[in-house]
Structure 1
Amino acid sequence: MDRRNKPSALAATPAAPPQARVDLVGDRVTAVLPTGESVEVLLTGATVLSWKGAVGGGAPEERLWLSESAVLDGSKAVRGGIPVVFPVFGQSPADVATSKLPQHGLARTSRWEFLGRSTSEADASSKTATSNGVQLDFGLTSSSADPKLKSLWPFDFALLYRVTLEPGSLVTSIVVTNNETDKAFDFQVLLHTYFRVGDITQVQVDGLGGASYSDKVDGFKVKTQAEGKVDITGETDRVYKPEAGAAQALTIVEGGRPKYGITRDNLSDAVVWNPWGDKTKSIGDFAPKDGYKNMLCVEPGSVSSWQTLEPGDAFEGAQSIKLL
């Protein structure tokens, strides 16, 4: 019998879009996007060990440099990737509160807690996440920091570090909170990013022309960068203060082509570092010794002066790296 009013077929339930896979195995957190791009974070220092990103639909490639002799068992800071520097950059003068801490402070050698993952659906207020990305959150407090080091800088603090992986980009952001009830503390913070490059002699940094900088290789003399791009022709260790501060975008160029675009939020300084050949001989965990040919550190931070954080206040800074 012909039935003119047949019931309509039930609409098929749309399949959920592919999601990032996040795994915590031992002391490492790994996130892999459906595109195959990935990031790996060591709980020691919340150090990003690896970032494999792709451009224009190509295959993901490693974008960070990691020493072949990097110590990954938590006994010392990692040489390579993206170590977190806090609450001091370098060594402190004897008359400041961080003077007893080792170089670059306590965050990069303390074991952080993995606080979990989120996506743009779970955090619609995020300015950085998309439906194709994933966010990994890590925390460190004065009570969970390395006991031997926190006694050398006895302030009540909390750090929240977020690593956001998206197709073609990586964002790392940090929030520093002063949990003291009645006293301020001074600090410095920096994201010590080791970029992987093909040939350092073909690499330049754009965006620093005309900026003043402290040249650590030349006795900390204050100089002014010539206009144009910064060439890397020997040992380089400079703390730049771009006139536009954090608003000044930076670009790593290789072979005349833009390779990495770096934008900064509330991190007004930029350290440019390459140890070159002679210096690597004195760095025990730098391998191979000619590895300087394939790396360049461009490090957003707030290190040319001290940030004063009042009780209950918070400071937030971030870097966003885009593959070009």
Structure 2
Amino acid sequence: MREGVHAGTACWIVDTAHAQAAIARHGGQLLAWRPADAAHDVLWLSPLAKRPPAPLRGGVPLCWPWFGSGEGDLPAHGLARTRAWALDDWRLDDDGSVALTLRPETQPVPGLEVIEHLRIGGVLEQTLETRNTGDVPLALTQALHSYFHVGDVAQVEVDGLDGHDYLDKYEGYAAARHQRGAWRLDDPRDPGRSDRVYLGTGGRYLLRDPVLARSLAITSVGSHSLVVWNPGATGGRAMDDVGDGWRHYLCLEVANAVTDRVQLAPGTTHRLSQRVEVQESHATG
């Protein structure tokens, strides 16, 4: 563990025999993770990403304590992702993984405390912990907004969503649609883009990537929804920190979003977690 710079941003750097990673002070955001035996980076970070204090495009932004648009002048996706974070503690575990605990230098919401736990090794484990430290019940939505690096988003498939309903942001989340088969970007009803919140999901997903010859196995706990987002060619090129990079990522965001809200009674804690494992297929597509 050391302090350093990654993609022009001040970070904590993990570099072991098992994995490399970079965690930004800005937003407590995981910017990079690559197991030692992986042929490619697992996360996508935009080469056009703006610098702090703007949000960083890529990696795993922390959307907290709300997901989506804020009311009035409040920023989209909450307050955590643009705050300065501090490293509380870190340790080297017996299996060679590095465990870190981070929190904002100042908690952004009175009555709520947010803490991030990371375990960096051949497998990634990430948890967003929220504690209600006040004396009134509070509700929140949130997401681990993961940008997964893919060879060509038009060729990937996502298993684990067949049979689930979803709400489409392009339709204002107005009516539930039904997923049949694996997710693909070429849905004939809305081809070439995706901004969906899948509901009542089971927390086990597989992102299959024939171009990079690998799959990413993602498991979530504390979540009953998954956001699947890629803006497509037109949307990506309209974003000055995405451009043509839209083709090389897919956001699979373990979340509590839209209708999936967390109700926190005083003195209680909620944990939103994901576990990511790389499965190399040793085949090209």
**TM-score normalised according to structure 2 size:** 0.88
Corresponding residue SS for 1:230: coil
Q: Aligned residue for 2:252?
A: 298
Q: Aligned residue for 1:109?
A: 82
Alpha-carbon separation, structure 2, partners of 1:160 and 1:118: 16
**TM-score normalised according to structure 1 size:** 0.78
Corresponding residue SS for 2:154: helix
Alpha-carbon separation, structure 2, partners of 1:185 and 1:164: 28
List runs of 5+ in structure 1 lacking aligned partners.
1-21, 122-130
Corresponding residue SS for 1:222: coil
1:173 corresponds to 2:127: yes
Contact 2:113 2:130 in 1 (8 A): yes
Contact 2:66 2:140 in 1 (8 A): yes
Q: Aligned residue for 1:132?
A: 96
Please tell me the residue identity of whatever aligns with 2:130.
Answer: V
Contact 2:28 2:104 in 1 (8 A): no
Contact 2:133 2:267 in 1 (8 A): yes
Q: Aligned residue for 1:14?
A: none
Query: 239, 243, 264: which one pairs with 2:197?
Result: 239
Q: Aligned residue for 2:282?
A: none
Contact 1:63 1:196 in 2 (8 A): yes
1:161 corresponds to 2:140: no
List runs of 5+ in structure 2 lacking aligned partners.
187-191, 280-285
Q: Aligned residue for 2:267?
A: 312
Query: 224, 229, 233: which one pairs with 1:277?
Result: 233
Which range is displaced more, 26-35 or 185-194?
Answer: 26-35
Corresponding residue SS for 1:91: coil
Q: Aligned residue for 1:9?
A: none
Q: Aligned residue for 1:86?
A: 64
Query: 75, 78, 91: which one pairs with 2:53?
Result: 75
Alpha-carbon separation, structure 2, partners of 1:318 and 1:59: 22
- How much does 1:282 deviate? 2.5
Spell out, residue by residue over 1:193-217, the C-alpha distance to the aligned partner (whole angstroms, 9 max, x if none).
0000001121011110111111112
Give the greater-gyration-radius structure (CA).
Answer: 1
Alpha-carbon separation, structure 1, partners of 2:15 and 2:181: 38
Q: Aligned residue for 2:4?
A: 25
- How much does 1:155 deviate? 2.4
Contact 1:251 1:258 in 2 (8 A): no
Cα separation, partners in 2 of 1:219 and 1:159, compared to 1, 3 Å: closer
Figure out how many residues of one structure are paired with residues of the other and give that number: 268
Alpha-carbon separation, structure 2, partners of 1:105 and 1:219: 19
Cα separation, partners in 2 of 1:45 and 1:277, compared to 1, 3 Å: same
Query: 221, 235, 241: which one pairs with 1:265?
Result: 221
Please tell me the residue identity of whatever aligns with 1:103.
Answer: A
- Identity, in percent, stands at 27
Q: Aligned residue for 1:203?
A: 156
The correspondence of residues 30-41 of structure 1 with structure 2, limited to 5 A, is: 30-35=13-18, 37-41=19-23
Alpha-carbon separation, structure 2, partners of 1:43 and 1:138: 9
Alpha-carbon separation, structure 2, partners of 1:64 and 1:190: 16
Contact 1:272 1:298 in 2 (8 A): yes
Contact 2:193 2:231 in 1 (8 A): yes
